[in-house]
């Protein structure tokens, strides 16, 4: 079975290296905004749990454990984003070197 053919759609995308770098940087920034929102929500959960006087120690420890797991996942994602940003910076540096060598 072959790939379906959709008429009148041209998959040609014409972007240059600068556009690619900008799109990659935007993707990192959007991921960071999403992670910031997750961190904010987890902080609000902790505040709500502490303000609620009906919770006992076991409930607080359960909430703390859940928040801890989520924040560990956020940290893992931050590490991956740092790797991605490092690769983007390498692309930028290589592009600057190529442009510099062209003008010499």
**DSSP-based three-state secondary structure for 24:** helix
CB atoms within 10 A of CB 77: 15
CB atoms within 10 A of CB 47: 10
Tell whether the model's pLDDT for residue 60 goes beyond 90: no
* Number of residues assigned to the chain: 104
24-34 tens-digit pLDDT: 999 999 999 99
pLDDT confidence band for 66 (50 / 70 / 90):
very high
Q: Is the pTM of this model over 0.85?
A: no
1-46 tens-digit pLDDT: 566 666 677 777 888 888 999 999 999 999 999 999 999 999 999 9
**Is 12 within a domain?**
no
**Is 10 within a domain?**
no
**Is 70 within a domain?**
yes
**Is 3 within a domain?**
no
Containing domain of residue 52, as a range? 32-103
Calculate mean pLDDT across residues 59-70.
93
How far apart CA 62 and CA 69 sit, in angstroms, is: 11
**Is 11 within a domain?**
no
**Is 45 within a domain?**
yes
How many structural domains is the chain composed of?
A: 1
**Is 17 within a domain?**
no
What per-residue confidence (pLDDT) applies to 10?
A: 74
- 56 half-sphere exposure, CB direction, 13 A CA radius: 1
How far apart CA 71 and CA 75 sit, in angstroms, is: 6
**Is 21 within a domain?**
no
**DSSP-based three-state secondary structure for 56:** coil
């Amino acid at each position: 079975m072959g790939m379906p053919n959709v008429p009148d759609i041209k998959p040609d995308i014409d972007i240059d290296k600068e556009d690619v770098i900008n799109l990659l940087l935007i993707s990192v920034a959007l991921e960071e905004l999403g992670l910031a929102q997750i961190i904010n929500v987890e902080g609000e959960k902790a505040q709500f749990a502490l303000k609620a006087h009906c919770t006992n120690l076991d409930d607080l420890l359960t909430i703390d454990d859940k928040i801890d797991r989520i924040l560990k996942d956020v940290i893992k994602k931050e590490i991956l984003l740092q790797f991605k940003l490092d690769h983007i910076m390498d692309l930028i540096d290589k592009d600057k070197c190529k442009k510099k060598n062209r003008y010499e």
